[in-house]
Structure 1
């Protein structure tokens, strides 16, 4: 890897040179794209009030009764985005753990595995969600990468 600093340019640029296009290059592209395109602050709703919160404060997003809800340590908000839209636009520390839930892995305190699923507990909160068996392995891999 080589980094060049040029104070004369206005915007950074990433160039990958390789003899062929590989899966690793695709993963690097996705990682950089998600990191650069992430929203730091999002709009959430509680009743008729709009709240502007930092994405890093969110423990998890879940779908319930056709609404996407965002959970912080002590509050519950709704968002007008769908879960699949959030999954595409959230920073890399967010990962889907079931059909109806995306979690912030930086906020995970503990994982308790059982035969059918995995209980996910969060730091500084009583809130918890379940990761399905289908997503458990990718959750573990994601945790190892980021910690």
Structure 2
């Protein structure tokens, strides 16, 4: 069996492709190992619920800290995690960046930017929601986006 690795820019989502004559137990084990990688998801509960579910980082639009809770806005719903934002910030993949004291955004979910006269930037997400990037975090966001190119 040959193994090939192609290094891609960070802005492209990583993927694995198996070219095989049939699905063997070895390939099934590899698939399970890849899909259950703990660095690609969070265990999280919906706002107001007690049970937790697995949520892929790639489906998260942004995180917001309100009332001593982190609210996670995903494609399908809103989830909550107790605790401060900074603890989760360092555990997130590289494509998440802080845009204000109370928000972290998935840069792949940003559709466009709009600059205001006071120096703030508004980020419009793929779901048409708008988030304000405070002046303090504009430089960090620009540097982060350049590193991902």
Residue 122 (structure 1) aligns with: 125
How far did 1:71 drift? 0.6
Question: What residue is the counterpart of 1:100 in the other structure?
Answer: 102
- What's the counterpart of residue 70 of structure 1? 72
Q: Which runs of 5+ in 1 are unaligned?
A: 1-37
TM-score, reference length from structure 1: 0.68
Conserved 8 A contact 2:68-2:82: no
1:11-22 matches, within 5 Å, as none
TM-score (norm 2): 0.67
How many residue pairs were aligned?
Answer: 110
1:95 and 1:139 in contact (8 A); partners too: yes
More displaced 10-residue stretch of structure 1: 84-93 or 39-48: 39-48
**Is the CA contact (8 Å cut-off) linking 1:43 and 1:79 kept in structure 2?**
no
**Structure 2: any 5+ residue segments left out of the alignment?**
1-37
Q: Equivalents in 2 of 1:55, 1:79: separation in Å? A: 14
Two-structure CA RMSD over aligned residues (Å)? 1.8
Is 1:39 matched up with 2:51? Answer: no
Structure 1 stretches (4+) deviating beyond 3 angstroms? none
Q: Output one character per residue of 1:96-125: Cα deviation in whole Å (capped at 9) or x when no partner.
A: 1110001111111111111142111112x0
